[in-house]
Structure formats: structure tokens, C-alpha cells
Structure 1
Amino acid sequence: MIAYIFPGQGSQYVGMGNALIDKYSIAKETFEQANEALGFDLSSLMLEGNLNTLTQTENAQPALLTLSTAVYRVLQKEFNITPHYLLGHSLGEYSALCAGGVLTFEDALKIVRKRGLLMQEAVKNGLGVMTAVANIAASRVEEACKEVTTPEYPVSIGCFNGPNQVVISGHQQSVKKVEDLLSKDEAILTPLKVSASFHSPLMADAANKLEEFLFNFNFARSDVPIISNVTGKPHVDDPKEYITLLKRQMVEPVMWETSIRYIQQKGVKHTVELGSKSVLTNLMRSITKDISSIPFEKPEDVSNFKGMITRYLPPAFLDKSLAIAVATKNQNWDEEEYQKGVVEPYKKVKKLSEAVQKEDREATVEEMLAAIEMLQSVFKTKKVQEQEQNQKINELLKVTKTEHLLKAHIS
């Protein structure tokens, strides 16, 4: 089983997506779509802007969503794989909801832009910060946070990322005190490139305002389970539930390790990180050795991706058609009819299949329709009942994920 994972804030950098849009038109279209939906030139900021401006929460969030969506669309167009699970870290949860069709790309952009503005407003003057803490038990970090926190200057764990890493989030003053305590225990401390204290009580007001804003949007059903940051389990396909959990995500910790343990328990063996850098891929190695993860951001990542996902690709249409022809039981013993209606059409499609493989490409619609004609000839010659013929062709379209391409051409 395979899952797609989407990174959160902190992974942004100037130039992200450059190579992708140079090679794939669908990626370029995604960037242009983001500009139009937001009403400003986000793509220029991503590709050649100022890092400090890009890192501002209201810019970083739609930028990372745009890159993850562009990568997802490239993969779907190139490989047409349906992952078994979708999950994202913090902001990445919105990328997962977008990939799963729960939110449209335009709506998701507007939501995360608003989310970023609300987060930024909640903790002004740069007083909200986050720091990754490694090489120390989470229980010790929780203990230090409780020791330091006050109603006015809260600090708490904002992310449970893995067995060896949590992230503390809160008021700058209290975060510094926790850092001082933990440094004595030889903890490894890494301040994050974010401009507010996400997943902490300081986001309470922002969370309430986000909830109101979310009621303006439609939440559709997803065919793929999408994991919630708050629960570490799949979302229930209910608009109110989505809104409730997305509100809670603002003030409660990201249960990333719990989420990974869940998909591991369900049988996921491979994950692909869709978006900037490879933060989640690196985290995966600390959580479990049973799930292999690779990042996909640039065109050169395709070869690694191909090596992983071969087993998840839909079967080649022509090869599957040939296999159905061979497996179909024959009830016609007239050799002349069999030669003309089965052998000759089969050989033609076999040659097409060999040409497609030699040229290392996908079959064209015309070639796939030729395979359908071959099957119809084989079915007729072998005296297959019409109902069974229709069932076999419908199953072929479903298994190879070509219904959208061929359904209108088949009478």
C-alpha cells in the first residue's frame, strides 16, 4: 500500500517549483491558477522573491499548498495512481484535503491565505515562535513546558513528530526558558523558520475566526481516507467534522507520529512526500523502518518514484486487453472464423503493444480503441454473451483507469 504525504510550513525556499514548471505545463498552469485565485503574483514570490517575505505565514501557506498541488497533479497525469491514504503535516493537511477532492484548489488557497493572516495577527511583533527539540524524551519536554508556562506566556508541545523529535510552540519568552532548561539535558534545539506559534493556545482567537470563515466553503466527500492531524486517524466525511478538526488543529498538537503509526498498522509500505524539501521523508526514518519514503519535488525525482511505484501503476491497457482475449473461453470451433476473428486482431494489437513498450510511452486513445475493437471481435467469434462482453470491457476500463478517456467512444 502507498500513501502520499504533504509537508507543512518551514519547508519554503525561493525558487521552489522552478524546475517543475519548466518541464510540466500542468505545473505552470497550477501556479497561474494560484495567482488568479489569490489576486496577486504568488508565483513570482515563490520563484524569485524575498525569503523573508515568502516566509511570512500568509504567503508561505498558499505557496507550499501550490507547490504540493502542482506536484500531485504532475504525478497523477504521468502515473495515474490512486494512493491508499493522504496525510499532511499541519498546513500539509490542507494539501491532502485538496488532493482528495474535499476542497477545490481555489478554495483551499483562500482558506490557507486567511489562516496565515489570522495566525500572524494572533501573535504580533514576532513574539510567537517554534523550536524543534530532539535527543530528549517527549515526557521531559512536556514537564519543562508545564514548569514554565503561564496564562499570559504559554508554551506547549505543538507537534509530536517522532520518537526523537517534538516541537515546542508559544510565547518567545517562555520558549526561551524551556530551551534553557532542556539544553542542560543536552537536547538538540532548532528554531523553525515560521513567523508565529502554531498549534498552541496563542492561536485560540485565530481558531475561532477560522471556524467562521470555513463555513463559507463546501467540503466534498473523498474516495481516499485523509488523516486528521488532531486524531491521527481518518477524517469522517462530514463538513461539520472537517471544520471542527481544522479549528482544533490550530490550537492542538500535530499528532504526526500517531498518524504514521496508523497507516503503518493498516499496511502502508511506501510513502511519497509531495512538495518542498524532504522533511517528512527524514522524519519517517526515525519513526519506522517498515515504511520506505521518497521525496518528489523536481523532475529528476521521477526515476526514484518510478522505482517505488511500479507495483501501484494501473496495468498497461494493451497488455491487459491481450490478457483478457487469451483468458476468454472459446465456444467456436470453426478454424477459419477463429483465425479471422481472434488470431489476426490479436496479432495486430500485440504489435501495437510491442511498439508502445519499445518507445517507452503510454498507448494513445486510438491504440486503446483498436484494442477494444479486437476484444469485441474476439468476444463475438468466441460466442461470448453480450452481458459478459460488457462486464469485461467495463472492468478493463475500471482497472486501467481509462473510463474518462474511452467511455464516450464505446457504443
Structure 2
Amino acid sequence: MYKMAFVFPGQGSQYVGMGQAWHSAYPIARELFEMANDALGFDLKKICFEGSTQILRKTEIAQPAILTVSLIAYRIILQEVEIVQPVLAGHSLGEISALCAAEAISFADAVKLVHARGKYMQEAVPEGRGSMYAVVGLSSEQVKEICREISLNIGTVVPSNYNASKQTVISGVKGAVEEAAISMKHAGAQVIPLKVSAPFHSPLMEPALAPFREFLDGLTLHPLQHPVVSNVTGDFYKSEQDIIPLLTDQLMNPVLWTACMNRMATLPVQAFIETGPRETLGPLLKERFPEAKVYATDSIHSTMQDCLDNLRGDSERNHLRSTGNLMDKCLSIAVCTKNHNSNADEYQRNVIGPYKMIQRMKEEITVSGKEPTLEQTEKVLHLLGTILKGKKLPVDELKLRLEQAINETGMPGLFQGLLMF
């Protein structure tokens, strides 16, 4: 089946003006901004559109802002393109965006959760006491060894994000992080200070654990409707029961993003889409999977329409590939389904005749070398419906068999009307 992987960015992807173009163009964006404002009790939309960079950089503001804009992008895509079996993952706070997209946490609860999370994380370490740097060019083992040495002699600094084979983020006490950055530069790395206000995913986050866990305990959690990958394990959540312990552990544990990417790719995935205000994860995906299709909504560069156009094209091509299998599936269902019609004339007209028509269509398409069209796909499904009715199947069984064939198209939403009889 056709799988699309959605990835949701973490803190640092925010900027003043994010989501404004979508707010103007899509009613769903206006609806979610209003829901976020109501949930938070302040005007998040105004901060996103008109606030200062300094305000938007505050953890307790940045996190609900990014989640809101990310969910807007996700909902726009679902509204505009037929997506089958989405797979979800997020980087740090993006994991909560992914859980919201999977319907395990309501949007209003998710906005309040990340606002509280940001507040607890910021309060854990006063602003200016901690910092984070991206380290490019060293292996994770080299980064771990330098962090270990600096931690023994100066203060806490640890790897906090394993983003790529040679890109790791470090986090900890400001002086120790800066000293580690100097050592890593000497070892040949490029080091980049991150625009965050606290040392996330480090032992310094321990004071945030208890209040965050208490907040999580007060939420109503729901079964996951789509698979979500955990930053802590690099594997899929087994159920909504994993949410509280894994999100709590995530505060102090490193983000295993490389493992998350690898796990998504095992499904397999036909394309990755980064749904967020600014592309940050796309380059990591392109580096890890150079042959994969990677799209971003990235509202800075107004790429939402390009993303939608690409996804529609992919969806159509996937449909065409699936339709060849569909014909075999329809013929198989027609043969294997028990007949309940003893009238020979009706059986010849409504079963044998349509079966031969499907066979001829398959032969013609094979000879032509062309892909089946949507019209041909619909005709095949209609013919199967005629065969099943001709065999006088009970309605429930008829619907089940036809639904099996419709699912084979990879675009079941286009053909659900065939089940209305």
C-alpha cells in the first residue's frame, strides 16, 4: 500500500509571519488558530504574525506556535490530497505534533501540553544558564567522548540529538557546552549555536519531569489512528499507553532521530513530507535517503502549492501502478466467491460476461504497455460489483469483497461511492 511519512519539526523552525499565508488561503488554518487562541487564553495568532523574534523564541511560545502551524500544514494536505496510511514522526516537540496528527491527543490538549512543556523546560534552567550547539563533521562516538571529558572537568554537557551520521546536537551548562564546542572545532567540526532558550534533552531538564508528568496524567488519551515513531526508542508506539512514559523520558533523553528515520523507511515509505513553518528536517532525510522523495510545506518559501502538486502527482502514479494488481485481485475475488444463483441465464449474463470483460481489459492494457486510467479502474470495480450481485451474495459479504478490491487501488477514498447500494 501507498505510504506517506509526515515529519514534524521541533523548536528553532519558528519565525515571525509563519502561517500567515495559509491563514489567508485556507479556512482550516483560521479554525486551528482560533482553537489555539481559545485553548491558551492569549492571541497566539497575533504573536505568530506580528510578534517579535525575541517573544517567539521563548520556549513556552515557540512550542505551541510551531505545533499549531505544523498541524495546519498537515490538515491542509489531508484536505487537498488523498493520503493512504500516513506514518508519523516528530523531532522533540514535533513528536507531540505527530501524536496529535495520529488523533491520540486532541488539538486543544496538544497546544496546552506543549505550552506547559515549554514553561516547565524553561523554568528547569534559568535563561542564559544553558545552551545547545549543532556539531557537524564528527561521528556520534567522537562527540560522546568529548562531552564525557568536558563533563568530568567542567560541567554537564551531553549529546542531545542524533540527527545524522555526522550531525549531533550537544546540550548542557553554557560554559561546558562552549568548551566542548571549542574542542570539537579543534577536532575538525563545524559548530553552530542553536536559537533555543534552555538545554533540552539533557539531565538539566530533571526539574521539569514531575510537573510535566502530572500535566500528562490529566489528559484524555485516545488510540493512535496512525503509526508514530518515538524519539526515545526509535521504534513505533505500541499503544496510547506508551505516551505518558515516553514523552516524559524524552525530556532528559537524546532524540534518536537517525533511528526514527531508519524505522520509518522500513515500511517502506514512498515519500517524506515535512509539515512545519520552515524546512529543517528535509535536508537530514535527503542526506540519509538520497533516492527518496522529500517534500516540505515551508511557508517561508511558499512551497505548499508545490508540495500539493507533487503529492497529487505521486498519488495518481501510485494509483496507476496499483490498478494492474487490482485487475488480478478482481478476477481472483470473482473466481473464489461462492455462487448463490441457480439461474443459468442470469449467471451467464451477470457473471461470465463481466468476468470476460475484465480479462479483455487486462490483456489490452498489457499489450498497450500503458497504465490504466481512472475511468478504466472504476469500470473494473463496477464489473466486479455486477459479478458479485450476479452471484447473489448477501449484502454484507458483497460490500466486504468489493471493499477488498477498492483498497487494492491505493486510493480508496475515490471509490467509496461504489459501496452505496
Q: TM-score range by the shorter chain?
A: 0.7 to 0.9
Query: What does 1:190-229 align with in structure 2 at a 5 Å threshold?
Result: 190-229=192-231
Query: 1:18-57 to 2 correspondence within 5 Å?
Result: 18-57=20-59
User: Alpha carbon RMSD of aligned pairs, Å?
Assistant: 3.6
Map of 1:256 onto structure 2? 257
Deviation at 1:305, TM superposition (A): 2.7
| Residue-by-residue CA offset, 1:238-258 (whole Å, 9 max, x unaligned) | 42x321111111001000001
With the length of structure 1 as denominator, give the TM-score of the two structures: 0.81
CA contact (8 A) 1:269 1:290 kept: no
Alpha-carbon separation, structure 1, partners of 2:34 and 2:18: 15
Partner of 2:108: 106
Question: What SS does structure 1 have at the residue aligned with 2:265?
Answer: helix
- Give the superposition deviation at 1:379: 6.1
Match of 2:308 in 1: 302
**TM-score scaled to structure 2, two decimals?**
0.79
Partner AA of 2:310 in structure 1? N
Is the alpha carbon distance of 1:378 and 1:83 closer, same or farther for their aligned partners in structure 2, counting shifts above 3 Å?
Answer: closer
The aligned counterpart of 1:385 is 393
Distance 1:68 1:249 in 2: 20
Once residues 261 and 193 of structure 1 are traced to their aligned partners in structure 2, the CA distance between those partners, rounded to angstroms, is 27
What SS does structure 1 have at the residue aligned with 2:229? coil
Alpha carbons of structure 1 residues 374 and 20: separation in structure 2 relative to 1, 3 Å: farther
One-letter amino acid of the counterpart of residue 308, structure 2: V
Give the one of 172, 179, 203 matched to 1:170: 172
CA distance in 1, matches of 2:61, 2:415: 36
Count of matched residue pairs: 380
AA paired with 1:44? K
8 Å CA contact retained: 2:381, 2:405: no
| Amino acid of the structure 1 residue aligned with 2:57 | T
Inter-CA distance 405–29: structure 2 relative to 1 (3 Å threshold): farther
Q: Quote the Cα distance in structure 2 between the aligned partners of 1:303 and 1:33.
A: 28
Is contact 2:172-2:202 (8 Å) kept? yes
Q: Are the equivalent residues in 2 in contact too, given 1:145–1:156 (CA < 8 A)?
A: yes
CA deviation after TM superposition for structure 1 residue 134, in Å: 0.2
82 and 402 in structure 1: CA distance in 2 versus 1, 3 angstrom threshold:
closer
- Please give the secondary structure, in 2, of the residue aligned with 1:86: strand
What is the SS of the residue equivalent to 1:251?
Answer: coil
Q: Which residue of 2 aligns with 1:246?
A: 247
Cα pair distance change 1:202/1:106, threshold 3 Å: same
1:334 CA displacement: 6.7
The within-5 A match list for 1:8-157 is 8-149=10-151, 153-157=155-159
SS in 2 for 1:168: strand
Q: What one-letter code is carried by the residue in structure 1 that aligns with 2:65?
A: A
Q: Hey, what's the Cα distance between the residues in 1 that align with 2:69 and 2:254?
A: 24
Rounded to whole Å, the distance in 2 between the matches of 1:200 and 1:404 is 50
CA distance in 1, matches of 2:255, 2:106: 23
Residue 34 of structure 1, CA deviation: 1.0
Which residue of structure 1 lines up, in the alignment, with residue 277 of structure 2? 276
Amino acid at match of 1:264: A
CA shift for structure 1 position 125: 3.1
Deviations 1:113-139 (A, max 9, x none): 000000111111322211100012222
Percent of residue pairs bearing the same amino acid type: 35
**1:390 and 1:210, CA in 2 relative to 1: closer, same or farther beyond 3 A?**
same
Give the Å deviation of 1:44.
1.3
Q: CA deviation at 1:390?
A: 3.2
User: Partners of 1:163 and 1:374 in 2: how far apart?
Assistant: 52
1:305 alignment partner AA: L
Cα pair 1:156 1:169 within 8 Å, conserved: yes
Q: Give 3-state SS (helix, strand or coil) of 2:218's partner.
A: coil
Q: How far apart are 1:224 and its partner, in Å? A: 2.0
8 Å CA contact 1:79–1:313 kept in 2: the answer is no
Q: Gaps spanning 5+ residues in structure 1: where?
A: 344-361
Q: 8 Å contact 2:162–2:258 — kept in the other structure?
A: yes
Q: Aligned to 1:149, what secondary structure does the other structure show?
A: helix
- Partner deviation per Cα, 1:116-170 (whole Å, 9 max, x = no partner): 0001111113222111000122222111111111598311010000012000011
**For residue 307 of structure 2, what is the amino acid of its counterpart?**
D
SS at match of 1:389: helix
Tell me, in whole angstroms, the C-alpha distance in 1 between the residues paired with 2:153 and 2:32: 43
Taking the aligned partners of 1:300 and 1:269, their CA distance within structure 2 comes to 17
Shift of 1:271: 1.0
**Cα 1:106–1:397, aligned 2, differ >3 Å: closer, same or farther?**
farther
Kept in 2: contact 1:93–1:229 (CA 8 A): yes
- TM-superposed deviation, 1:208: 2.4
Per-residue CA deviation, residues 373-408 of structure 1 (Å, 9 max, x unaligned), is 99978865x45333453334554776754599869x
Q: Decide whether aligned partners of structure 1 residues 404 and 114 sit closer, same or farther in structure 2, where only a CA change above 3 A counts.
A: farther
